[in-house]
Amino acid sequence: MRASDLSQMFPSLPVRYGELRDQVALVTGASRGIGLGIAARLAREGMRIVITGLESDEVAEASTALRALGADVSGVAGDLLDSTFVDSLVDRTLQQYGELYLLVNNAADIRRARAADLPREWIEQQWAINARAPLILSLQAAAVMQANSSIVNISSVGGGRAQLPGLPYGMTKGALDALTRNLAMDLGERGIRVNAVAPGWTPMNLDPEADADYLREVSQYVSLRKPCRPEDVGAAVAFLASDDASYITGQVLYVDGGLSMQLHPPDQPI
């Protein structure tokens, strides 16, 4: 998903959770893809949002597109490998909006390799972006959050199931699942809920028309016979942040069309 897709998609998003209106969310990695889908759904619910992204032009384009649709959005560009940038995000959110109700740790380095070909620098980079930054941001967010606030981590089916190639991405997403449970245990007494959403196959960079044959072919390996869309993940995040999920914490919600439940793909018996 790109900013150019918002004008067509945004009006179709439902508005379900009135309690989210005017609340403040910080969503990392939200200038495109799944993060932009999350930001769009939260904006549709009336939340005030800070979005981050690696490329300043993408952040500006996404922010402008969301504001054109009536959203109250502030964009911040920076690299989560930069600890100074990570340390600044909660403060910037407070400076902009004065409070923080929802943190969505979405930004991720998704590169994967076989063990024999794994570049050493990928290990350090993915650990910093996919695990360390969510932990630091969560600790900083929790320090200023009130009861009934939420943290939602965007994990992956790769955090609970192996894939080939899968390193070091799957390792870091498994760590994110563990972080979700540990933070939920730690912050529960303060009324702060911590959950994760694990998307399935999300072919965000494909052209639906040019790649139609490929999309149909791969969809046959998913129980629901279709890919996961950014707005599907956004719907799960909005639910977990809402009062309807007020007794849900420490959970990983799989939004994967049934992919992770399968012992083998449809029509491919072992």
Q: Which residues are catalytic?
A: 169
Q: Which spans in 132-168 are helix H? A: 133-144
Q: How far apart are CA 246 and CA 235, in angstroms?
A: 16
Q: Is 155 in contact with 197 (CB distance < 8 Å)?
A: yes
∠ at Cα 48 (11, 246), nearest 5°?
Answer: 90
Give CA separation, 268 vs 44, 264, 265, in Å: 40, 6, 5
Residue 37 CA, chain-centre distance (Å), reads: 9
Q: Which two tokens stand for residue 264?
A: 């083998």
Q: Which spans in the chain are helix H? A: 6-9, 33-44, 56-68, 83-97, 120-126, 133-144, 169-187, 212-219, 230-241
Q: End-to-end alpha-carbon separation of the chain, Å? A: 35
Q: Is 215 in contact with 203 (CB distance < 8 Å)?
A: yes
